[in-house]
Homo-oligomer: A and B are copies of this chain.
């Protein structure tokens, strides 16, 4: 059984493991106050061309989201997210557990736009309702789509005008920024968001996300919140070490690109056999409409994430590639599909 279930099913990229071993023979300061984290932070600031940003390393996506969001909101302020947003659906109410409502809006392709946010602001007009304050987006989105530069600029301008913070969940930022259709750069994102994170877990790290707070007003005391939420590993340098490796020779984007390229091959193969997609693929996630008659044959040999039923005769199955997907995995799948579809 081969797994296309997700992009976090192998421990870590060899380069990162290697770096980790090298760092194993020396004593380091605890809690992220070590030289690895310091260097990695500097490297990130240089990469995003934003020397005044603050960089922190946290062990996972959910804890990054809940720590940052609870750090900056007042108790009565709320988050606006897409109905499909990760914090809205798949984090067990982590944001609400810190006291904040997540207001969800329906939107195309998992992407927020000024048009869908505007009505939320109009409805929330007085103190009987929460005060929308933070716009949460993901790039790639949970549907594998990406934001264009123009879309992000419009969102940013809208947020500025309405005194909303803009925060980007970058669990799969590598895939977004290396997508064929992408026109955003790291420095664009640093300019156009109040904060974002560069995801490591889904891009070859065994754990670790780099949170970047661009808005100076939101930077103070964040380490207090990190510690309070259990988000500071005692041996945080293991996160710094990995990010240093990821940032060397453009490895991070290379891994993202590799994931996308593997997905594009799957996309081509599936298309050739007449499969359609619930949503047009842009990165490493393919939401494939699989005829119910084929579901069993396929899932007996491939681990895939079931994502509902687009119609009465199809099931949506997610194919997800990663930095660790190999060319021969794709080739083997092609042969497999040939067999299955010929029956």
Hey, which bits of chain A sit against chain B, CB under 8 A? 2-3, 5-6, 8-12, 14, 17, 20-21, 23-31, 59-67, 70-71, 74-76, 78, 89-94, 96-102, 127-131, 201-202, 206-207, 221, 223-235, 237-238, 324
Contacts and interface: CB of A to CB of B under 8 A. Distances in A.
Contacts of A20: 11, 17
A201 B236 CA distance: 11
Given A76-B92, A90-B128, A99-B97, A230 B62 contact: yes
A93 B228 contact: yes
A24 B3 CA distance: 15
Contacts of A28: 9-11
A60 to B, nearest CB: 6
A174 to B, nearest CB: 15
A224 to B, nearest CB: 4
Nearest to A238: B206
A9 B27 contact: yes
B228 A76 contact: yes
Contact of A127 (B76, B99, B227, B238): B227
Identical chains in the assembly: 4
B131 A221 contact: yes
What 10 pairs across the A-B complex have the smallest Cβ distances? A63-B230, A76-B224, A92-B228, A11-B24, A62-B230, A93-B130, A93-B101, A127-B223, A92-B227, A96-B101
A91 B97 CA distance: 17
A97 B207 contact: no
A296 to B, nearest CB: 20
A307 to B, nearest CB: 12
A78 B89 CA distance: 12
B128 A234 contact: no
Contact of A131 (B29, B98, B224): B224
A101 B94 CA distance: 9
Contacts of A225: 74-76
A238 B62 CA distance: 18
Contacts of A12: 24
A10 B30 contact: no
Contacts of A202: 234
Contacts of A75: 70-71, 97-98, 225, 228
Contacts of A96: 78, 96, 99-101, 130
